[in-house]
A and B are shown apart, each in its own frame.
Chain A
Amino acid sequence: MRITRLTAAVGALALAMAAAACGGDDSGSGKASGIVGKASSQKKLVVGVKADQPGLGLQTGGTYTGFDIEIAKIIAKGLGVPETGIEYKTTVSANREPFIQQSQVDIVVATYTINDERKKVVNFGGPYYVAGQDLLVPAASTLAGPEGLAGKKVCSVSGSTPAKRIQTDYKDAKLQQFDSYSKCVQALSDGSVDAVTTDDIILAGYAAQDQYAGKFKVVGKKFSDEPYGIGLKKSDTEGCNKINEILKASVTDGSYKAAWDNTLGKSGKAAPELDVTKLTNCS
């Protein structure tokens, strides 16, 4: 068969258009302003959550469970969205800002630490929980805190804030990085690393998993503060204030405590006090 110039050009054009079509999924929700408007007009909410963190956001089959999920349900309820109207979308640490900016999600509840760089691009409701960096070690380990890490192998997720803190503040520790915490925990149970470090409630979630029951313990010495916020569009100040109102109400009506008791509280840790005076991150 002879390929003429014309057919070749048409073919190339068709390919280019197909490629362009792949990236062009704009759900066209531009008209409703902010999540408050969208929630009341469409009764829908798309929530970005983590899928691999037991106790916080864990996907098993098609369902998500965890503390972050319960918080998302509280927010949705406060906005007047029924539970069936919530759509969960898996996010990882690196794509949370882009997902918010491109309207792929309405809010993000995904162990999302509030910090100044992130505040430049997104708005934060909350914090709904203040976590802190801690260490997960084998049950028999004598490691008592970050000071004992010198010469020890400690594992965290590459590019994460906890990994960076080890590199800058505890230079004598040997840092092993993986792209997920599940690999770190696997390496810890094999004995190829001495400790896993990240936010305490994430570690508590892993320690409480059935297959590791009794094998690990959380050291319990926080060495940082990580306020978890609910991310949404930078321009949506109204939605941000609304989220803070809902969080305040959830403390009074007990749904915040219930959310904790049904998820992370199962490990025996008492529900934290939500400090409502700190809900001041909206811009």
Chain B
Amino acid sequence: MDVFSDPTNFETYKVGFLWILKLTAAGTVGSVVLGVVLAAMRVSPIPVLRGFGTGWVNLFRNTPLTLIVFFCYFGLYSALGLELSDDIDRNNYWLGVVGLSVYTAAFVCEAIRSGINTVPAGQAEAARAIGMSFLQTLTVVILPQAARAVVAPLGSIFIALAKNSTIVGTIGLMESSSAMKELINANGDAVVPIFLVFAGTFALVLIPTGYLFGWLANRLAVKR
């Protein structure tokens, strides 16, 4: 454990997990916003939007995240010149958030769509009967009930997102997996303890998160 008592090593460890937190936070916001819009598209009455939503989900759900993040750097930034910040780390961070969001949004979309299917058809019919438009029906009647049904699967998606954040290391952000690599490279005599500390930190945070979502799912479920 004396590896982590060295202040610079501890700093590496701390900075690594701070990036993971930031990536997860921004990725969650991005993917939920995008995912809800995509789910709305997939249940909308307009064929073009339905097709777009289906296309998005099929494309990004079946592409390895490493490739997506890789493309964000070499495609969006390197080739197309999309610079999201002057600072090299911030730029990589935002490129990573874009990659994580478009990927995770596909899963969020599918979870919410499955939630929409749990809402009885009578609810939508009743909403239409009192003259609500499609958007009103969706946002006022269907989505609130659908969201409460999919808390547990969304929890799993966010936990996966937290772990997937390590992939942004591939475009050079010093997140936890890159930090671990750096520490292992410099401390060849303590490979196992370093590995256990990093894996343990993830487990320590994510296991309670899993229980929290399980508890929330129970509390928020619509009792039918």
B188 touches A177 (CB 8 A): no
A121 touches B185 (CB 8 A): no
B188 touches A176 (CB 8 A): no
Select A98's contact among B169, B182, B191, beta carbons within 8 Å: B191
B window 69-85: CB within 8 A of A: 73-74, 77-79
B171 at the interface (CB under 8 A from A): yes
Select B181's contact among A94, A117, A121, A175, beta carbons within 8 Å: A94
With a cutoff of 8 Å between Cβ atoms, the chain A residues found around residue B181 in the complex are: 93-94, 158-159, 179
A215 to chain B, nearest CB (A): 16
B window 153-196: CB within 8 A of A: 169-172, 174, 178-179, 181-189, 191
Give the docked Cα–Cα distance between A150 and B181 (Å). 26
A174 touches B88 (CB 8 A): yes
Interface bits A130-170 vs B (CB < 8 Å: 1, else 0): 00000000000000000000000101001111011000000
Q: A93-B185, A190-B78, A192-B78 are known contacts. Are A158 and B172 too (CB-CB below 8 A)?
A: yes
B120 to chain A, nearest CB (A): 31
A117 touches B172 (CB 8 A): no
A158 touches B187 (CB 8 A): no
Q: A158-B178, A158-B182 are known contacts. Are A121 and B188 too (CB-CB below 8 A)?
A: yes
A163 to chain B, nearest CB (A): 8
A177 touches B189 (CB 8 A): no
A31 at the interface (CB under 8 A from B): no
A245 at the interface (CB under 8 A from B): no
A97 at the interface (CB under 8 A from B): yes
B77 touches A177 (CB 8 A): no
Give the A interface residue count (CB, 8 A): 29
A2 at the interface (CB under 8 A from B): no
B73 to chain A, nearest CB (A): 8
Q: A153-B88, A175-B88 are known contacts. Are A118 and B172 too (CB-CB below 8 A)?
A: no
Which partner residue on chain B sits nearest A186 by CB separation? Answer: B74
A178 at the interface (CB under 8 A from B): yes
Give the docked Cα–Cα distance between A153 and B92 (Å). 13
Which partner residue on chain B sits nearest A234 by CB separation? Answer: B189
Q: Which residues of A contact B (CB under 8 A)?
A: 93-94, 96-98, 117-118, 120-122, 153, 155, 158-161, 163-164, 174-179, 186-187, 190-192
Question: Can you list 27 A-B pairs with a CB-CB distance of less than 8 A?
Answer: A94-B184, A97-B188, A117-B186, A117-B188, A118-B188, A120-B188, A121-B188, A121-B189, A155-B172, A158-B181, A159-B178, A159-B181, A159-B182, A159-B184, A159-B186, A161-B186, A163-B182, A164-B182, A176-B88, A176-B172, A177-B178, A178-B170, A178-B171, A178-B172, A179-B169, A187-B78, A192-B78
* The 4 nearest A-B residue pairs measured at CB: A159-B182, A97-B188, A159-B181, A177-B172
Given pairs A96-B188, A121-B188, 4 additional interface contacts (CB within 8 A): A93-B185, A117-B186, A186-B74, A187-B74
